[in-house]
Amino acid sequence: MVRRLVHALLAVALLPAGVAAQGSRTVILSTTTSTQDSGLLDVLVPLFERRTGYTLKTISVGTGQALALAARGEADVTLAHAPAMEKKHVADGQLRNRRPVMYNDFLLIGPPADPANIRGEKSVPTALRRIAAAGARFVSRGDRSGTHNLEQRLWRDAGITPGPPWYIESGQGMGATLGIANDRQAYTLTDRATMLAFARRVSLTSMVEGDRRLLNLYSVMEVNPANGPRVNAEGGQAFAAFMLAPETQQVIKTFGVEKYGQPLFVPIAGKTDDDF
Amino acid sequence: MDLLVEGVWHALTLISRGDPEILAILWLSLQVSGTATLVALLLGIPAGVVLALARFPGRTLLVSAVNTGMGLPPVVVGLFVTILLWRSGPLGEWEILYTPAAIVAAQAVIASPIVTGITLAAVQNVPEKFLLQLRGLGASRIQMVRVVLREARLPMLAAVMAGFGGVISEIGASMMVGGNIKGHTRTLTTAMVLETGKGNFEIAIALSILLLTLVFAVNWGLTVIQQRRTP
């Protein structure tokens, strides 16, 4: 009864906007903010649409939310960068066919004054322990994103439970978090793509990089149609196949060179987690 | 300071060049918020008139609800509309989540109480004696409503301005139900958040200037109509 009433009301409300049934030609991709903020999707989405005839809708949110949306069947395919969380969803049967697409790396960055004296340190846990010991400010995403997920694991590896007053949670995307870290002259963990995009705006510099723990691996997963009604399994499959196709991988390989003088992602279709 | 000057300068060149992407975003925002305001007027004006003129049990409760609704947080509306429109939600079969239609629906929900509340206040400001006179002259209900609306039409333009101004600058609901999809559901405000997140402050500033200009132009037009002839 209530449902019918809501239907009728919304039907009236929506008439002027021209509601069109989308059918199965629409694919919903849930993904992390870094793929969008880096501009990569702006290049890949039109390519996918032209090649397959599908309309792709990209929902860019933190990886935690992107995976949760996919697990609820609110998306058809997902591109994320939190291997541990992803594997859990795959094991639970909500997502399937997880395949690595590309990678880049995270950097531990900080103010040039380097109050915790970590510049050039090779091991991230050691660097984090020094930050904690010095009580130097550290800004965390605090938003269950892929970056936040990794950061929490790194603190665990360091054997430290970070907390106030020196540990600041921004609860925002990578760009905004870099702004806060810059303003507070604090350390933070960032992906390389976002750091390059902000290089002109922030005075923070790279402190620790190259640690194997800082690998940033992006994988594509299809949504199990059993998760909910109206999952477009075929469309999801088509996008996953597109991301792994040689032509797309070639585009990923050169993306960013023009603007930043170096590529932002390294394509790795066909590899598995064990190759790293 | 450099960023501000540079940003504004860059923004002005982007606008004067008529950047097609920015123009498309501007046009979409205008369409979506315009439609939402229209829907809100269709729902809010009758509701406001009824609440102002009719007397029935529970009326005070309803008026309080409308007054509360005038400050309805857009993110709350966004959250509930999203849940309703989810594939697994009660209206999932419509498949309109992440479309402009979904933003129109959410913004109409935000603007309707604003229009209702201002209409209510405008109609209640029509002097009681005037209503008594009308009734004494034997006006029918429909005739009364028409005359009252005519009397209240100038203050009610404020309802249009407040409703439109509220929804076009709203971000929480547009982001959640629209998804900020490029070329599809990216509005002025969601584009601003995205461009700021990307570090493209010039584009964000250009969009801010456009948003302010747009709201100003609409309000100016309506104010000219409103002030042309004071009653």
- Within this chain, do residues A132 and A33 fall inside the same structural domain, yes or no? no
Specify whether the CB–CB gap between B34 and B126 falls below 8 A.
no
Which pLDDT value is given to residue B143?
Answer: 87
Maximum CA extent, chain B: 69
Mean pLDDT of chain A: 88
| Residue A206: strand pairing partners | A109
State the average pLDDT for chain B: 89
Asked if residue B151 is part of any domain, the answer here is: yes
Are residues A95 and A42 located together in one domain of the fold? yes
Write the single-letter amino acid at B115: V
- How large a percentage of chain A has pLDDT more than 70? 92
CB contact under 8 A, B180 and A60: yes
CA–CA dist A139, A196 (Å, integer) = 18
Q: Are residues A112 and A208 in the same domain?
A: yes
A169, β-bridge pairs: A140
Q: What percent of chain B has pLDDT over 70?
A: 98
- The pLDDT confidence band at residue A13, using thresholds 50, 70 and 90, is very low
Residue pair A54/A26 in contact (Cβ under 8 Å)? The answer is yes
Residue B64 maps to a domain: yes
Residues of A in contact with B198 (CB under 8 A): 37, 39, 175, 197
Average pLDDT of A160-164?
A: 92
Range of the domain at B88: 21-185
Range of the domain at A128: 105-214
Note whether A65 contacts B: Cβ–Cβ < 8 A.
no
The reported pLDDT for the residue numbered B30 is: 94
Phi and psi for A84 in degrees, rounded to 5?
Answer: -65, -45
For B38, counting Cβ atoms within 10 Å of its Cβ (0-12 exposed, 13-18 middle, 19+ buried), the class is middle
Q: Which residue is closest to B36 within chain A, CA to CA?
A: A13
Q: Do A18 and B101 touch (CB under 8 A)?
A: yes
In a domain, A227, yes or no: yes
Tokens representing residue A4 in the block: 């019918």
How many Å lie between the alpha carbon of B138 and the closest alpha carbon of chain A? 35
Phi and psi of A215, rounded to 5°?
Answer: -65, 135
Closest to A276 (Cα-Cα) out of A108, A100, A64: A100
Q: Which helix (H) or strand (E) holds A216?
A: strand A215-223
Residues of B in contact with A225 (CB under 8 A): none
Tell me what pLDDT residue A1 has: 44
A133 and A145: one domain? yes
- Of the given ranges (A22-26, A146-150, B95-99, B137-141), which has the lowest mean pLDDT? A22-26
Yes or no, beta carbons of B90 and A3 under 8 Å apart: yes
Q: Say how far apart CA A33 and CA A31 lie, in whole Å.
A: 7
Is residue A173 domain-shared with residue A47, that is, in the same domain? no
Q: How many CA atoms lie within 13 A of A262 on its CB side?
A: 10
Tell me which of A177, A193, A214 is where a domain ends.
Answer: A214
State the CATH number of the domain containing residue A125.
3.40.190.10
Task: Give the distance from CA A155 to its chain's centroid.
Answer: 20
Looking up residue B158, the CATH number of its domain turns out to be 1.10.3720.10
**Is B210 within a domain?**
no
Task: State which residue of chain B sits closest to A172, comparing Cα positions.
Answer: B197
Residues A177-216 have pLDDT tens digits of 998 999 999 999 999 888 888 888 889 999 999 899 999 9
**pLDDT interval class at A16 (50, 70, 90):** very low
Residue B195 near residue B204, CB atoms below 8 Å? yes
Higher pLDDT, B95 or B47: B47
For residue B30, being part of any structural domain is answered with yes
Q: What is the ipTM of this complex?
A: 0.73
Q: For position A35, what pLDDT does the model report?
A: 87
Percent of chain A with pLDDT over 90: 66
Q: Which of A87-101, A111-125, A189-203, B52-66 has the lowest mean pLDDT?
A: A189-203
> Per the CB < 8 Å rule, is A175 touching B108?
no
Residue A2: pLDDT above 70? no
- The confidence score (pLDDT) of residue B89 equals 87
Residue A185: phi, psi to the nearest 5? Answer: 50, 55
**Strand partners of residue A79:** A31, A220
- Taking CB atoms and an 8 Å cutoff, what residues of chain B touch A59? 98, 179, 181
Is pLDDT larger for residue B179 or for residue A112?
Answer: A112
pLDDT band at B230, cuts 50/70/90? low
A182 and A221 together in one domain: no
Find where tokens 């992006």 sit.
A218
| Minimum-distance CB partner of A228 among B88, B97, B101 | B88
Q: According to the model, what pLDDT value does residue B13 have?
A: 87
Rounded CA separation B117/B45 (Å) = 9
CA distance A205 to B169: 36
Q: Is A35 on the interface with B (CB under 8 A)?
A: no
Same domain, A148 and A230: no
User: pLDDT value at position A10?
Assistant: 53
B208 domain-assigned: no
Q: Is there a contact between B101 and A14 if contact means CB atoms under 8 Å apart?
A: yes
Say if residue A242 is in the same domain as residue A162.
no
Query: Which residue in the set B39, B98, B197 is minimally distant from A33, CB to CB?
Result: B197
Q: Touching check for A8 and chain B: CB below 8 Å?
A: no
Q: Of the candidates B192, B181, B199, B190, which has an alpha carbon nearest to the alpha carbon of residue A174?
A: B199
Q: Tell me, what amino acid is at A94?
A: Q
Put simply, the answer to whether B35 touches A200 (Cβ < 8 Å) is: no
Tell me, yes or no, whether A17 lies in a domain: no
Q: Is residue A10 one of the residues assigned to a domain?
A: no
Confidence of residue A255 (pLDDT cuts 50, 70, 90): very high
Same domain, A122 and A204: yes
| Same domain as A219, residue A247 | yes
Q: What is the pLDDT of residue A19?
A: 39
Same domain, A271 and A152: no
What's the angle, vertex CA B180, arms to CA B176 and CA B182, rounded to 5?
160
- The answer to whether position B15 is within a domain reads no
How far, in Å, CA of A61 to CA of A44, rounded? 18
Which of the residues A2, A10, A36, A223 would you substitute to probe the B interface, choosing the one with the greatest number of B C-beta atoms within 10 Å?
A: A10
Same structural domain for residues A193 and A71? no
Shortest distance, CA A42 to any CA of chain B (angstroms): 8
Using one digit for the tens of pLDDT, what is the confidence trace for B120-130?
999 988 888 88
Residues 195-224, chain A, touching B (beta carbon < 8 A): 197-198, 200-201
CA dist B164 and B219 (Å) reads 9
Residue of B nearest to A23 (CA): B95
Contact A17 B35 (CB under 8 A): yes
Domain count, chain B: 1
DSSP code string of chain B: -HHHHHHHHHHHHHHHHT-HHHHHHHHHHHHHHHHHHHHHHHHHHHHHHHHHH---TTHHHHHHHHHHHTT--HHHHHHHHHHHHSTTSTTGGG--TTSHHHHHHHHHHHHHHHHHHHHHHHHHTS-HHHHHHHHHTT--HHHHHHHHHHHTHHHHHHHHHHHHHHHHT--HHIIIII---TTTT--HHHHHHHHHHHT-HHHHHHHHHHHHHHHHHHHHHHHHHHHHS--
- Tally of domains in chain A: 2
**What's the residue count for chain B?**
231
* A36, A59, A197: residue with CB nearest B199: A197
> Which residues from B are below 8 Å from A21, CB to CB?
95
In a domain, A181, yes or no: yes
Residues of A in contact with B186 (CB under 8 A): none
Shortest distance between the Cα of A29 and any Cα of chain B, in A, equals: 11
Has residue A17 got a pLDDT over 50? Answer: no
Q: Which of A16-25, A210-219, B86-95 has the highest mean pLDDT?
A: A210-219
How many Å apart are CA A186 and CA A131, to the nearest integer?
10
